[in-house]
Amino acid sequence: MTFLPAVVQAQYRGGHRIRVVFNDGVEATLSFRRWLKGPIFEPLRDLDYFRRFHLDGGTVAWPNGADIAPETLYTAMAGKPRRNRRSGRTKARRLPSRRTSKR
């Protein structure tokens, strides 16, 4: 079965940054500025509105219906330091390759 990431916790970290924790225990602080393009994301450029995020459907969402797919957030964390809550260790982890190896 393929892993489906879901955001289980989110905390505002200043500016357009949110600390996200996924259902597998990995976490990172991400800047959302790169995704604030287009009319649906226009209101999020205002920090007061941006801070009104909540969790919905396993991801970060806003009152106007804007959201970022959890898979997109999880992929954006590749190579960023994050803490695995199960082990308590902090390290940079790479996401597994989606390629299948020949044997």
71 in any annotated domain: yes
42 within some domain: yes
Domain of 24, CATH number, reads 3.30.2020.10
Q: Is residue 88 part of a domain?
A: no
- In a domain? residue 50: yes
Residue 93 in this model has a pLDDT that exceeds 60: no
Q: What is the pTM of this model?
A: 0.76
Which residues constitute the domain of residue 27? 7-80
Query: Is residue 1, in this structure, part of any structural domain at all?
Result: no
Pick from 76, 71, 60: which is nearest to 3 by CA? 71
State how many domains the chain has: 1
> How much is the pLDDT for 84?
57
| Per-residue pLDDT tens over the stretch 31-54 | 999 999 999 999 999 999 999 999
The pLDDT tens digits of the residues spanning 63-84 come to 999 999 999 999 998 766 555 5
Asked if residue 98 is part of any domain, the answer here is: no
Q: Is 102 part of any domain?
A: no
Residue of 20, 8, 14, 52 whose CA lies nearest to 33:
14
Average pLDDT, the chain: 84
